[in-house]
Structure 1
Amino acid sequence: MTMPVRRIRPRTGRRSFDLRSTALFFVLLALLLCVLGFAVRTLAGTAERRPAWVAVLCLAGLAAVPAWGRRRRRLFGARTARRAAAALEEGVHTALEEWEAPAAGAPSVDAPHIADAAGPSAGYDRAYDYDDLDADEFERAVAALCERDGCTGVEVVGGAGDLGADVLAVAPDGRRVVIQCKRYGDGHRVGSQDLQRFGGTCYTVHEADVAVLVTTSDFTAPAAEYAEQCGIVCVGRPALRAWHDGTGPAPWTLVDAAGGC
């Protein structure tokens, strides 16, 4: 016996009819129409009683439309101007930073010639001018030259209470080198009093084997005479430049034995 097969209708995806929702929709629509009708009736009555007011309101509405448009354009223009100003300011700051930043690989302003007791040679640079250095930088630059030329135990000890010694080092042949640095201008030469003060401490206090006075200027005749008597090596501007460039001897090679006053 063959059983009848019940056909199943495919779902179409449509929502089923909801009487409650439909009734609510029409109720809300009726209320909206009533409110609109009441508003139109009120406006019509007002227009009949006060036509001037209606005209004024219409004119005000018409005038508000272009004013609102202009306000939007002004706001848009103000926003655009603010964004442009911000972009310009950012560009200026970026340009200034690029201008002030050192070029890649360029030496730092205060680093190329600076040396200290821990590692003077790290600050040695053949390109700088000693006239651009202050007194402390000059001492560290001289210490860097000592270490460059093979000295060991190089120390920058200049300062208050240094008793005439600014740089201490041990020469490659083992002799103790004591250096005083005088950062003077061209018009200020090292005098005999400077040499006498240094000569009174370099051997007796610092136990120097080689005593050196290095200056960016020159020496007076009495100072040079006193230095020769005491065995102090005088390194003036020309000799300093030659030592720096490698075309002249290091100061400790100019004496063969310890001197003294």
Structure 2
Amino acid sequence: MRRTSPRGRTSRPRGKTRPGDTFLVIVFAGIAGVGLLLALVSWVATTPAVQPVAALVLVGGGVLAVRRRGARQARRAEEARVRAAQSTEIARYHVMDPRQFEDAIAYLCHRDGCSDARRTGGAGDLGADVVANAPDGRRIVIQCKRYGPTTTVGSGDLQRFGGTCYNVHGAQVAAVVTTSRFTKPATNYARSMGIRLFDQHALAAWASRTGPAPWML
């Protein structure tokens, strides 16, 4: 509520700032900043003693900026290379039939140091498609799901594997590897059972040596 001064004029309440005042403060601060910068440049230009130091600062800042830009470009190039390698790998697995896919997973185990890596999938395998011994001696049991990109691995698949991987096959590392992805219920069940899940991205990273193997998680 505005107050009226003794002379009949309306006075503005104390503590209130008009929008125009804030704008003027910003303008004056900008002018002051530009003036300070110009003064600094002028001082450096007319003071020979500080010119070498200023030059070093400018050169150092330029070199640092170039290095940072180069590091960002190198990081982006590496990320693009990794994505391309992973896309190539997962596309290769998509054209395999289930048996070829199991052989491919057994090969990856052998490639990365497992002993006695072999495909065991077939009728009566009870969910164990590939078995191997990890480099540290642990027994690995892997179930392979060569699915299309739009077919997900559900909790039913995981529950069947969870009922046999430890009790029947004696797994010390149990994993399910797919060319697709897992549903959320499947992921929750696997977490509760200690089953390691490798979806298409994790598989592509493993195959292209840009990510860990199942027993390394």
8 Å CA contact retained: 2:90, 2:203? no
- In structure 2, what is the equivalent of residue 179 of structure 1? 142
- In structure 1, what is the equivalent of residue 186 of structure 2? 223
Give me the whole-angstrom Cα distance separating, in 2, the residues matched to 1:211 and 1:127: 22
Give me the whole-angstrom Cα distance separating, in 1, the residues matched to 2:137 and 2:214: 14
Report Cα offsets for 1:157-213 as digits up to 9, x if no partner: 000000000000000000000000001011110000000000000000000000000
- Shift of residue 127, structure 1, vs aligned partner: 9.6
Report Cα offsets for 1:108-143 as digits up to 9, x if no partner: xxxxxxxxxxxxxxxxxx797101100000000000
- In structure 1, what is the equivalent of residue 168 of structure 2? 205
Give me the whole-angstrom Cα distance separating, in 1, the residues matched to 2:116 and 2:99: 19
SS at match of 2:153: coil
Percent of residue pairs bearing the same amino acid type: 60
Matches within 5 A, 1:9-24: none
Number of corresponding residues = 130
SS at match of 1:196: helix
Give me the whole-angstrom Cα distance separating, in 2, the residues matched to 1:179 and 1:151: 13
Give me the whole-angstrom Cα distance separating, in 1, the residues matched to 2:165 and 2:98: 20
**Which consecutive aligned stretches of 4+ in structure 1 deviate over 3 angstroms post-superposition?**
none
Q: State the superposition RMSD in angstroms.
A: 1.5
From the CA coordinates, give the structure whose radius of gyration is larger. 1
Distance 1:205 1:127, change over 3 A: closer
2:162 is equivalent to residue 194 of structure 1: no
For 1:133, give the aligned amino acid. M
1:143 equivalent among 74, 87, 106: 106
Give me the whole-angstrom Cα distance separating, in 1, the residues matched to 2:194 and 2:103: 24
Normalised by the length of structure 2, the TM-score is 0.58
In structure 2, stretches of 5+ residues that fail to align are: 1-88
- Shift of residue 155, structure 1, vs aligned partner: 1.5
- In structure 2, what is the equivalent of residue 104 of structure 1? none
Give me the whole-angstrom Cα distance separating, in 1, the residues matched to 2:117 and 2:173: 14
SS at match of 1:147: helix
Greater strand fraction, Structure 1 or Structure 2: 2
Give me the whole-angstrom Cα distance separating, in 2, the residues matched to 1:158 and 1:127: 21
2:198 is equivalent to residue 235 of structure 1: yes
SS at match of 2:185: helix
Normalised by the length of structure 1, the TM-score is 0.49
